[in-house]
């Protein structure tokens, strides 16, 4: 027996499939946008990570320079103290 489907049911079915297709396409577009956004954020993260590593190298380099300057200043202060003592000793000798 052949079943007769009213035209309204056919229209509803076609409308449902169209809406479902649109929803699926929107979901696919949304997922694609999310993936593109995630990829963009990963690239930004990688770039920032690289900048951080370079900055850390610069910090280490500057720490090394600062340590070297501190040691040099300490040596100069020690030399100054020795020189002042020598001058004081010479002045005492001269006064004697």
Phi, psi of 36 (to 5 degrees): -65, -40
Q: What is the pTM of this model?
A: 0.47
23 compared with 62, residue with greater pLDDT? 62
Token pair listed for 9:
């049911």
d(CA 69, CA 65) in angstroms, rounded, equals: 6
Residues 6+ apart with CB under 8 A from 39: none
Mean pLDDT of 15-23: 73
14 compared with 55, residue with greater pLDDT? 55
Residue 8 has pLDDT above 60, yes or no: no
């Amino acid at each position: 027996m052949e079943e007769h489907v009213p035209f309204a049911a056919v229209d509803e079915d076609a409308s449902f499939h169209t809406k479902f297709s649109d929803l699926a396409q929107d979901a696919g577009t949304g997922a694609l946008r999310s993936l593109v956004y995630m990829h963009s954020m990963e690239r930004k993260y990688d770039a920032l990570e690289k900048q951080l590593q370079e900055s850390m190298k610069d910090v280490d380099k500057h720490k090394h320079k600062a340590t070297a300057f501190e040691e040099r200043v300490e040596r100069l202060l020690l030399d100054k103290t020795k020189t002042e003592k020598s001058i004081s000793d010479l002045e005492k000798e001269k006064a004697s």
